[in-house]
């Protein structure tokens, strides 16, 4: 599982600089970057988790969440350990905080990954559960092989990858579910141990590179839920990613170091959605609230129900084969075709 890293440069006295994510860690010999899974070994940088899988399953694409990318399809989903953020509310902290020497990791080569995805009848491969950037070398090779075999590919990401690394994988990466965790530098500094600006830069670049982008914002009470912040986020997405970009406002549930907070009130999520629509966004969703009507896709022109969802599964699909509303003819921006899933999550 040890593999020489991509995107680093050698410095004086055997120090290296990792250029894979926006932290651009300078790593001394025998030390690791912020992600915890990239180590300087005698002046060269190595990934410690290449092909080391901590979680692996077949999931509905809506679980990522992707609502406008091959609706109803399944994705072969894999994750490892490590993360370049330090989110106090992390839902997968047992993976993100684990050290390679302490974790139980299965081994799955890129070619095995692609083979298993095809055998499972999946439309795509998704790198998820932890931050996919931290095992970039594995995701890059896996994405390249997946595309050769006709499979789609996606990252579920915090968006901290550097422009040069994103541009390198972009020809093999179809979809990007990016978590814009808040819309202030203070939130990113205090809650995530990172910066907002690189996330915005990456999100904009992904769109420019032709990658399908959906934006997720986990709304945390008292931290990033003010109407002004929601409005600024929505306006930024409208102006930089486009009005048809799916925007997901997800409900927070207490986790990790933020168990003292309550779950997000439903009316806060409803308000966030209303603000985003006021700012011109046409496809705004509420997530982590089973049965909420705004899990569904409606025609922004006539209001017709186009895609009904429940429990991360498409239950009804009413978009015409030419990707228009069957009632009014409005074009609906869906990447790929509807694939009726087997109901696996």
Give the pLDDT confidence of 137-170 residue by residue, as tens digits: 999 999 999 999 999 999 999 999 999 999 999 9
Residue 280 lies in a domain: yes
Q: Does residue 340 fall inside a structural domain?
A: no
Do 122 and 254 lie in one domain? The reply is yes
Same domain, 167 and 265: yes
Alpha-carbon distance of 129 to 259, in angstroms, equals 20
Q: Are residues 142 and 190 in the same domain?
A: yes
Burial of 37 (0-12, 13-18, 19+ CB in 10 A): buried
CA 82 to chain centre: 15
Note whether 34 and 81 are same-domain residues.
no
Tokens describing residue 334: 């869906």
Q: Give residue 343's pLDDT band: very low, low, confident or very high (50, 70, 90).
A: very low
Which pLDDT does position 339 carry in this prediction? 87
Q: Is 87 annotated as a binding residue?
A: yes
Alpha carbon distance 243, 255 (integer Å): 32
Q: What average pLDDT score do residues 122-140 get?
A: 98
Look at the chain and report how many structural domains it folds into: 2
Spatial distance between the Cα atoms of 341 and 343, rounded to a whole number of angstroms: 5
> 3-state DSSP call for residue 195?
coil
Are the C-beta atoms of 186 and 197 separated by less than 8 Å? no
- Asked whether residue 26 falls in the same domain as residue 56, the answer is no
304 pLDDT higher than 80: yes
Does 40 fall in a domain? yes
% of residues, the chain, pLDDT over 70: 99
Q: What are phi and psi of 64, to 5 degrees?
A: -65, -45
Question: Looking at the predicted structure, is the pLDDT value of residue 98 above 50?
Answer: yes
- Domain that includes residue 305, residue range: 52-317
For 221-256, write each residue's pLDDT tens digit.
999 999 999 999 999 999 999 999 999 999 999 999
Q: Contact 48/37 with Cβ under 8 angstroms?
A: yes
Evaluate whether residue 195 is within a structural domain: yes
pLDDT for residue 88 is more than 50:
yes
343 located within any domain:
no
Task: Return the percentage of the chain with pLDDT > 90, whole number.
Answer: 97
Same-domain pairing of 35 and 153: no
Same domain, 32 and 63: no
Pair of tokens at residue 182: 């808040």
CATH of the domain at 135: 3.20.20.70
Q: Do residues 177 and 305 share a domain?
A: yes
Bridge partners, 247 (sequence order):
215, 284
- The length of the chain is 345
Residue 345 lies in a domain: no
> Are residues 40 and 15 in contact, defined by beta-carbon separation less than 8 angstroms?
yes
Q: DSSP string spanning 130-144? A: S-GGGGHHHHHHHHH
Q: Does the structure show a pLDDT above 50 at 136?
A: yes
Same domain, 204 and 126: yes
Same domain as 22, residue 7? yes
pTM of the predicted protein model: 0.96
Rounded CA gap, 140 and 14, in Å? Answer: 26
330: in domain: no
208 and 305 belong to one structural domain: yes
* Same-domain check for residues 42 and 60: no
Residue 158 counted as domain residue = yes
Q: Is 90 annotated among the ligand-binding residues?
A: yes
**CB count in 10 Å sphere of residue 257:** 13
Residue carrying the six token digits 């594995």: 138
Band of residue 342 on the pLDDT scale cut at 50, 70, 90? low
Tens of pLDDT along 172-213?
999 999 999 999 999 999 999 999 999 999 999 999 999 999
Does pLDDT of 107 surpass 90?
A: yes
Ordered strands of the 314-317 beta sheet: 297-298, 305-309, 314-317
Q: Residue 77 and residue 60: Cα distance in Å, rounded?
A: 9
List the one residue out of 39, 29, 134, 138 whose CA is nearest residue 92. Answer: 134
The reply, when asked if residue 299 is annotated as ligand binding, is: no
Which pLDDT belongs to residue 285?
98
Sole residue written with tokens 């129900």? 305
């Amino acid at each position: 599982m040890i593999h020489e890293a991509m995107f680093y440069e050698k410095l004086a006295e055997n120090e290296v600089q990792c250029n894979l994510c926006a932290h651009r860690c300078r790593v001394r010999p025998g030390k690791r970057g912020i992600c915890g899974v990239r180590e300087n070994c005698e002046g060269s940088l190595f990934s410690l988790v290449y092909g080391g899988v901590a979680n692996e399953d077949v999931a509905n694409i809506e679980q990522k969440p992707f609502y406008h990318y091959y609706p109803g399809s399944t994705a072969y989903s894999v994750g490892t350990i490590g993360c370049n953020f330090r989110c106090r509310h992390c839902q997968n902290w047992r993976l993100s905080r684990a050290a390679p020497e302490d974790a139980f990791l299965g081994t799955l080569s890129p070619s095995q990954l692609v083979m298993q995805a095809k055998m499972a009848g999946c439309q795509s491969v998704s790198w998820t559960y932890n931050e996919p950037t931290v095992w970039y070398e594995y995701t890059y090779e896996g994405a390249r092989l997946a595309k050769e075999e006709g499979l789609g590919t996606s990252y579920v990401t915090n968006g901290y990858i550097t422009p040069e690394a994103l541009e390198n994988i972009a020809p093999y990466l179809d979809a990007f579910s990016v978590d814009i965790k808040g819309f202030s530098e203070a939130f990113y500094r205090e809650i995530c141990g990172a910066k907002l600006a690189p996330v915005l830069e990456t999100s904009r670049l992904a769109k420019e590179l032709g990658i399908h982008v959906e934006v997720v914002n986990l709304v945390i009470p008292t931290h990033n839920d003010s109407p002004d912040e929601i409005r600024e986020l929505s306006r930024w997405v409208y102006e930089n990613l486009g009005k048809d970009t799916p925007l997901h406002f997800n409900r927070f549930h207490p986790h990790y170091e933020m168990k003292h907070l309550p779950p997000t009130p439903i009316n806060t999520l409803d308000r966030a959605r209303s603000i985003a629509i006021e700012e011109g966004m046409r496809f705004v969703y509420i997530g982590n609230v089973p049965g909420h009507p705004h899990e569904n896709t409606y025609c922004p022109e006539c209001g017709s129900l186009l895609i009904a969802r429940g429990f991360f599964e498409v239950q009804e699909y009413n978009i015409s084969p030419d990707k228009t509303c069957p009632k009014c003819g409005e074009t609906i921006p869906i990447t790929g075709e509807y694939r009726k899933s087997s109901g696996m999550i």
